Amino acid sequence: MLFKTCVKYKPTGKYSIIESEYRTKAQFISDLRANGYAVNPLKIKEVNLYNWILENTDCEEHVWKYINTIPKDYEEYREMIQSKSEREEKRRDIKYNELMKKCDDSHQQFLKDFNLTEEEFQAQVKARKGL
């Protein structure tokens, strides 16, 4: 596959666009890094897709993240961005809820271990804060 990306050469800090043929994206990334380039894997795309993104979008992070094929029209482009961002938001919400449940379970276990009610715990917190 012919890949294309924008990289930063670490020793000089200069940016370049590199286009090269590799079997996999991982091999391309590996060679770029081995040659002293800083590279964002999200911004490595096949040449046609890379050029389409530059010509047809605002090149914001979500575009590089969610667009992996050239959309047929604007509606398909909008749907790609929206559906993938909604899925990511749902995953984030699920992880957040799991974390909050763990925190609540931990808090409940703390109260149980020290034989406290929530009111007693809150009173101790206020007393320590000097309220």
48 pLDDT more than 90: yes
CB distance 29 to 45 below 8 Å: no
CB distance 6 to 17 below 8 Å: yes
Backbone angles phi, psi at 54, to 5 degrees: -65, -40
Mean pLDDT throughout 18-32?
96
One-letter amino acid of 1: M
If residue 21 lies in a helix (H) or strand (E), which one and from where to where? strand 14-21
The domain locations on the chain are: 2-70, 71-131
The pLDDT of residue 41 = 95
The pLDDT of residue 8 = 97
pTM for the model stands at 0.61
Q: In this predicted model, what pLDDT tens digit does every residue of 75-109 receive, in sequence order?
A: 777 787 778 778 888 888 889 999 999 999 999 99
The pLDDT of residue 131 = 66
Q: Name 19's bridge partners.
A: 4
